[in-house]
Structure 1
């Protein structure tokens, strides 16, 4: 699967925002002092945008820039033949930004997405306020594999039939420990980050009340 095939599977912007916030909050509760946490959520990143992100530490990442009803998703699969680092001039894959609305144009130059001046993207998906669906550019994919933009596997936990279960499984593997599925589901359902939830997700923490407060501040 590639970005155009993933687009219909994505939820609306408000739902996506809450999924991203939940992922960041749950992972923070599980591993608050681990510098290798993979998911983040930055409310008020750059007015009017919030920023959700995932970085697996192995060179693959995504960023989701969100306002109330609009969003831009940038995926980067470092092994994709569509990577800008594959091109001689370190340019984007041809056509990748075709049709991108002007409201998102300035984000292509933001330093958070352009290490050493190269905009890292192998797939882009966007949704403006009033859009009824997610959109992508119409590009010609590498002939050998139409799934080579990385969108399907990078965004897989956001398009899963049961995102809470998918994320619980991910964290169990990531941190090599059992993760309470009921507590994860509580957060994914919009439940408060309470002392009880913090204790369930991090049974060894000395002060779950303080951890719950930290998670609320960190992940908004």
Structure 2
């Protein structure tokens, strides 16, 4: 079986006698069951509104294994089918170092095209007192991404699509989507809580500890819901050609202040950011 964006999930059923559930408070709707699946190692009890059918489940997120303990078979089909409507948020295709370079280049180009700093879409700070470098994409319409880079090669990416149903502002309880920050390393948590990161304004988040691979929390997003990770990530992973295409549309005639040759020159540079 597959969840949403092609992730395989292995499903097996065993008898109720083989599994002793914990005292988790039973959610009363299937949607609560879906959200429970975001919690690694948690056991969830689900029943339909009539309370006649139930299923116990244990999720092992690391190996993508779902074990279902069935009381009444009719409800199993409903619960398992619900899983097929979920997906994982997108993650960067670049390494942390490549992402850092792309953001430095975009910020340098934007700096030359937009003299007023407060109007810039891309910003890059490498002079923070805590030796953390921070990049920011903000389209001025409520959507943004904040990226932190540590001196040891780690990175944290936190994004917000203000129109997404994943937004805390779209939830009745106003809380961050379940599992969003689950598993975030303790040394990166202060970065997510940094005032500049706007901790609660988040619809996707991931991090890299080794500088190459990316991890994310135990969060599954309904397949019909856009968390903004796909289109916002495209904005911070542009190469020179992609930046030129975007900049021509965004700056219009103002793009000529830098031009294609200027963009290629900036993207050919490495090293530190210069405003």
TM-score by length of 1: 0.76
Q: Please give the residue correspondences for 1:21-170 in structure 2 after superposition, counting only pairs within 5 Å.
A: 21-33=104-116, 35-68=118-151, 69-114=153-198, 119-128=200-209, 130=210, 132-145=212-225, 148-160=226-238, 163-170=239-246
Higher helix share: 1
1:189 equivalent in structure 2: 268
Asked whether 1:17 is paired with 2:100, we answer yes
Consecutive unaligned residues in structure 2, runs of 5 or more: 6-86
Contact 1:41 1:51 in 2 (8 A): yes
What is the CA RMSD across the aligned residues, in angstroms?
Answer: 2.4
Q: What's the CA shift string for 1:103-157, capped at 9, x where partnerless?
A: 111123222223xxx62110001001x3541111231212423xx1111111103
Distance 2:163 2:129 in 1: 30
Distance 1:77 1:126 in 2: 18
Consecutive unaligned residues in structure 1, runs of 5 or more: 194-214
| Bigger relative contact order, structure 1 or 2 (CA pairs below 8 A, ≥6 apart) | 1
The DSSP-based 3-state class of the residue aligned with 2:247 is: helix
Distance 1:192 1:96 in 2: 32
Q: How many residues align?
A: 186
Asked whether 1:6 is paired with 2:84, we answer no
Distance 2:149 2:224 in 1: 33
The DSSP-based 3-state class of the residue aligned with 1:6 is: coil
In the TM superposition, what is the alpha-carbon distance from 1:184 to its structure 2 partner? 0.7
Contact 1:41 1:50 in 2 (8 A): yes
Distance 1:91 1:54, change over 3 A: same
TM-score by length of 2: 0.61
In the TM superposition, what is the alpha-carbon distance from 1:26 to its structure 2 partner? 0.5
Contact 1:72 1:104 in 2 (8 A): yes
The DSSP-based 3-state class of the residue aligned with 1:26 is: helix
Distance 1:34 1:102 in 2: 33
Higher strand share: 2
